[in-house]
Amino acid sequence: MKRGGLPRMIVTRLMQLPLILLAIYTITFMLVWIIPGNPLEKPEGRRPPAEIVDAMQARYNLDDPVVFYGDYLSGVTGLDWVLGDRDGPIIDFGPSLRHENWTVNEILAAQLPVSILLGLSAVALACLIGIGAGVLGAVRPGSLLDLGSLLLALVGISLPAFVIGTVLLVVFAVHLGWFPVGGWGEPGHVVLPALALSLPFAAYIARLTRSGMLEELQSDHVRTARAKGMPEYTVVLKHALKNALLPVLSYLGPATAAAMTGSFVVEKVFAVPGVGTHFVDAVLGKDITLILAVVLVYSAMLVLLNLCVDVLYRWIDPRIEPSGTPA
């Protein structure tokens, strides 16, 4: 292992971040700008006179892409704040164009933690279910347990979230009354959406664990451990599982990112006020400031998450060469 490889990798990656974000900002901005329609126009209702439409466009810089691009950039980078506009927050994503009562900062502050909490709960749940089912399946291949874990994987991967979600709601919320139907704010609100969101991930993790375990259980060091007369659970949990989990770990990075960003359907079905649903609404309504903010924040999160996963790899298995390090 090269000395200093890890800190250097981290610094390089962090320095790349602003450039990546600038490129993403520019491309997203161009794409969003060419969507037809006027975000200030209400989907239903009366049409305001043309001069009012023009004045409103001018107010939000919608009449000039160059000014909009520059203005938004200086707000987001904190340049405005540095240059003395101390009324707003340091990083200012501006007002939402579709919801004049809210700033984008307020919207993100309210919704991002929800999506993150939901995503993390789902990943935690997916690990518990997936690793549990995978190990059980591998310990007794071909048994009913194994079949059960296979079935779980099949259901989790093939059933769309809105079906799983609705079934969970009907059974656990309406009939059994264990959980509230929708909303957010109480611990009970997390369980069903997290479960619905976790199933596809759990299914994949179960398959990864099972195949990893099967391989490990046949390996020499496990045979040695057994020969030494170690109790079976020590063999399974300590010797086999540790190695079998490496592929799961590498899957967790993208899975966490996907769970935090891709909960659109689950959020909608369970009326969870996360970013997903409203990001889709923002795109449909051409809420430019909100779209850009969500894209930027999520891009930054993705870059950092990938960095975390790479660092974790290095920590677990120093033989792995991190990407992004000059050879």
Long-range pairs, 249-255, Cβ under 8 A, ≥24: 249/309, 249/312, 249/313, 249/316, 250/309, 250/313, 251/204, 251/205, 251/208, 252/123, 252/127, 252/309, 253/305, 253/306, 253/308, 253/309, 253/312, 254/309, 255/123, 255/126, 255/201, 255/204, 255/205
Provide the mask over 140-159, with x wherever binding to other proteins is found by CB under 8 A and - wherever it is not. --------------------
Question: At its nearest, how many Å lie between other proteins and the CB of residue 43?
Answer: 5
Question: At its nearest, how many Å lie between other proteins and the CB of residue 307?
Answer: 28
What's the CA gap between 296 and 27, in Å, rounded?
11
Q: How far is CA 5 from CA 54, 76, 315, in A?
A: 56, 32, 12
Candidate list 18, 37, 78, 148; residue touching other proteins; CB under 8 A: 37
CA angle (262, 180, 171) in 5-degree steps:
85
Question: At its nearest, how many Å lie between other proteins and the CB of residue 129?
Answer: 7
Contacts with other proteins in 250-279 (CB under 8 A)? 268-271, 273, 277-278
Report residue 158 as tokens. Answer: 């093939």
Q: Could you say whether residue 237 binds other proteins (CB under 8 A)?
A: yes
Question: At its nearest, how many Å lie between other proteins and the CB of residue 181?
Answer: 4
Least Cα distance to 93 among 298, 302, 294, 277 occurs for 294
Question: At its nearest, how many Å lie between other proteins and the CB of residue 154?
Answer: 20
Q: Could you say whether residue 110 binds other proteins (CB under 8 A)?
A: yes
Q: Could you say whether residue 284 binds other proteins (CB under 8 A)?
A: yes
Interface residues with other proteins (CB under 8 A)?
A: 35-37, 41-49, 51-52, 55-56, 58-59, 99-103, 106-107, 110-111, 124-125, 128-129, 131-132, 135-136, 139, 166, 169-170, 173-174, 177-188, 190-191, 232-233, 236-237, 268-271, 273, 277-278, 284-286
